[in-house]
Structure 1
Amino acid sequence: MANVISKVSDNPEISQSIMAAGIQTNYHDDGEGFPVVFIHGSGPGVSAWANWRLILPKITTQTRAIALDMVGFGFTERPENFQYNVDAWVEHLLGFLDALDLDKVDLVGNSFGGAISLAAAIQHPERIRRLVLMGSGGIKGPITPGLDDVWGYTPSLENMRSMLDIFAFSRELVTDELAQIRYEASIRPGFQESYSQMFPAPRQRWFDSLACTDEDLCNLPHQTLIVHGREDRVVRVEDAYRMESLIRRAQLHVFGECGHWTQIEHADRFALLVGNFLAEADSSEPAPLYP
């Protein structure tokens, strides 16, 4: 395993750091058992801890939970002139697994993180045991007005409040305190510069670039749990139904009265659902493809 740098900050978003695919990568790692890697979404001010803070303590009671800041996000290094695309993010993820000596993992991906999880499973099926896709991109379709607004975010407290309204079904979650925290995260040095490079207008092309082919989804051999909020304004619930119809070993769970933040809006139920799915007795190997 490469050298790991321990946390030197009081900020809970910053934990351990390791060099992965040549990129100094911030990550959280706790618990024991089969490794489960969590990949965050692409909202402004996002980090692994911001996305998964309510889930990690619950999952670590039964397995090893690892959540990293993908390159360009959170407190991971942002290399100058980096070309952000699916292949680069998958390379970073695989480099991270290699750095931690993880031969095979489960992946839990949120939105953008779901699309990266799918791409990694398609390109490197032997490295993945099971998939959990939450509010996931990775399938062809029209970009929603909500996601167009999210990717087009420019920093202001008012704009951040508007972003949180898009993400959450319950307005009780959209507090002034949360808006202030996420706004401050979105104006950290270098964040907006890298964020604006990832998804410039017209943004449909970037949603398309994250999409897998129908053929690849049909050939995906992994047990897959798809989780979606019925009132999701960022990724359409119709996309989840279609994804479930294409992935032959998939199951779908839709939460009512839920937006794009299933892991926050229904944290206890989400953690139970995911924990039970990952703990099911089954072969650790993907099923063979049909001839």
Structure 2
Amino acid sequence: MDITYDSTSKFVQTSKHRIHINEAGSGSEVVFMLHGSGPGATGWSNFSQNIPVLAEHFRVIAVDMPGWGESDPVTYSGRDHCTDLADLMDELGVDKAAAVIGNSMGGGTTVRFGYEHPERVEKLITMGSSSGSASLFGAAGFTEGLKVLQKGYRNPTPEVMRELVEVMTFDSSFATDELVQARAEMVAAHPEHNKNFIDGTGKRAVVELDFAKVRTITAPTLLFHGRDDRVVPFEHSLRLTSLIPDSRLLLINRCGHWLQIEHAEEFNRQVLHFLGK
């Protein structure tokens, strides 16, 4: 059976939220994939090129986190993605994940999960994750990409959605019409997500990490970052790999914020190797 959005789409009701997931593959080894924070973001839009490959070896679950995609809306003050992931694992009967993989905001959740629930995950993988603090060498304030992301939440026209997808990549050929349309359609279907995100701007960081606790992470950790990331500078992953004891960083040139899309073959190969496949 072909792995498509529709063939893998399902909803799971946890104690707090109705969460949408795309699930493929089978077996006792489970990998969770967590998307970033942009308007229209979903597990499928972030990882559609990775799910089929990983599903040959694992039960793969790409999650629409509460406040995004087809999952329940959540206000900025009520957002607690680490607890949401733990609740989802409980409902799915997964005691311990083989890996949690997160892009951008999802990378922050992955790191937090590593120190908040260390007994529930074997390995951690991030792409383009923020370290949760200001950049030492870059300019203060929002990056070019984050400015476009904010613009997308406030004015989610097809033109702005294309601008968003292009700033996320180094090579604009990856900003396909299909990807732009999917993001625009998801925003239009769930305007409540946009409102809740905008309401929280300046009131709560999307990624919140405790550096002292990051240092306690024991899970082997693989960090990816694009050298040309215009959303989250690669310095953030340098900081994370300096803090996490058992970690390594793969920095890829000619690559933007969506490394798992622009360099899907390399990403898939490195992830499978890291996970022992």
For normalisation by structure 2, the TM-score amounts to 0.88
Alignment of 1:211-250 (within 5 A): 211-250=208-247
Q: Does 1:140 align with 2:133?
A: yes
Q: Does 1:56 align with 2:51?
A: yes
Aligned length: 264
Residue 119 of structure 2 is matched in structure 1 by: 126
User: Once the 2 structures are TM-superposed, how far is the Cα of residue 161 of structure 1 from its aligned partner?
Assistant: 1.4
Residue 85 of structure 2 is matched in structure 1 by: 93
Distance change >3 Å, CA 11–CA 239, structure 1 → 2: closer
Residues 106-151 of structure 1: per-residue CA shift (max 9 Å, x gap) = 1000101011111222211111111001111243125423113313
Unaligned runs of 5+ in 1: 1-9, 281-291
Contact 2:215–2:243 under 8 Å retained in 1: yes
Residues 15-67 of structure 1: per-residue CA shift (max 9 Å, x gap) = 12111233111112222241111111111111111111110100011122111
User: Once the 2 structures are TM-superposed, how far is the Cα of residue 14 of structure 1 from its aligned partner?
Assistant: 6.5
Contact 2:101–2:125 under 8 Å retained in 1: yes
Distance change >3 Å, CA 193–CA 118, structure 1 → 2: same
Residue 39 of structure 2 is matched in structure 1 by: 44
Residue 113 of structure 1 is matched in structure 2 by: 106
Of all paired residues, the percent bearing the same amino acid is 31
Contact 2:131–2:237 under 8 Å retained in 1: no
Distance change >3 Å, CA 177–CA 123, structure 1 → 2: closer
Distance 1:264 1:202 in 2: 27
Unaligned runs of 5+ in 2: 136-141
Contact 2:66–2:79 under 8 Å retained in 1: no
Report the AA paired with residue 197 of structure 2: M
User: Once the 2 structures are TM-superposed, how far is the Cα of residue 226 of structure 1 from its aligned partner?
Assistant: 0.2
Distance 1:174 1:228 in 2: 19
Residue 198 of structure 1 is matched in structure 2 by: 197
Distance 2:178 2:44 in 1: 17
Match of 1:260 among 257, 261, 275: 257
For normalisation by structure 1, the TM-score amounts to 0.84
Distance 2:7 2:160 in 1: 22
Contact 1:136–1:240 under 8 Å retained in 2: yes
Contact 2:131–2:239 under 8 Å retained in 1: no
Residues 146-166 of structure 1: per-residue CA shift (max 9 Å, x gap) = 113313422111111111121
CA RMSD of aligned residues (A): 2.1
Report the AA paired with residue 66 of structure 2: V
